[in-house]
Amino acid sequence: MQEDAIKKNIREGILGDKSALNKVPTRQELQVNRCISCMCYSVKYHLYFACTKNFKLLVLNEYLNIVAELPLEVRLVQDCIFLDETQQLITAGVKGCYLIQLTIDYKYDPRQAILLDAKGNSINVNIGWNDEEKQGHDGYYKFQDIAKGWVRGMKMDQKEGFFVAWNKQGCNFYEFDTKEKPERNTKPKVIFTDLVPNDQKITDILLYNSLHYFVIATHIGHLLVFKWDPNQGTKQSMHTFKSHSRAVTSLKVIEKSESSFVSASMDGTIRIWCLDKLIELYCFDLVQGGLNCGTGGLGDQMTHIELLNERIFALFFRGHQNMIEIGQISHLAHSYYISKPKILTLSKAFTNY
């Protein structure tokens, strides 16, 4: 019964603290909803990894059948990332960031396992190493020198070769190479404290290492641009964008551009910026684009907005609609618009929700 409730809640998007229900859930649904704090998806292995508030790691296949339920030594995890290449799970939470080595064994190819083994009985997942030389290690590696306090977020940028974790006002950058040993990847390259004033907090970070820039998003809507030297460990404030009026919740690089990025905010706008000229290129107003949520207004009903990539965004709603709405923006050279029709249901689209 508990497994059925988990599957039901995942399908309906009722996960973690970013959800709000407009119905009275059953006791069992409430317990399950409060249990899952975050989850991520493995494209290579076709598996979901869900961290729970009762210190468990749930592994589910694409039918949302539980493949494994493993005890976690890490407490109060709020975010997680899975690395397909190395079978490693990175977690962030109250106790800092951890790199957890998993071993995944299949009887069938992962793509075939979905068709041949719906219940997931042929999949074996454990925490630790298969390598005989490392079997004595428990598989947990703590990222060193994380700034004091709760780790509020993290981001992996394999293209730039960096992992970044942040708390309210500071962040640590780690050079990250999946071919390197975990001990090396968990040592900080640069530590920055007091990046934002005491009355602000960091909500996201974007790295443009090729330009020697990084961008800080804040809960009051400001975007702070810094120029940095990772080898010297120095930074210099370059500019502050102030167009957003509410919290900026997500930043993404525009892949085909050398200096442009996208930001999404709780003010109901998605904006495109240019780091070369330090200007705003365009603003998408989601309400004017037709993505509203009824009489309550977008700002009253939306609980979160997330950029899944530079073009696809997700809106999380509360209230009577209680849904996740997917949209796509086009930001070609001379074409700016929000696509229609909207995508209202997806079987699997999220990496963190």
Kindly report, residue by residue over 301-352, the tens digit of the pLDDT: 677 788 877 778 777 776 545 667 777 776 544 344 444 444 443 333 433 3
Domains of the chain (ranges; CATH) run 1-142 (no CATH), 151-353 (2.130.10.10)
Residue 290 and residue 284 in contact, taking contact as beta carbons nearer than 8 Å: no
Residues 14, 323: Cα–Cα separation, whole Å: 9
144, 112, 139, 113: which is closest to 128 by C-alpha? 139
pTM above 0.85, yes or no: no
Identify the helix (H) or strand (E) that includes residue 282: strand 279-285
Q: Which of 45-49, 224-228, 329-333 has the lowest mean pLDDT?
A: 329-333
Kindly report, residue by residue over 270-296, the tens digit of the pLDDT: 899 999 889 998 888 887 655 554 444
Residues 61, 42: Cα–Cα separation, whole Å: 10
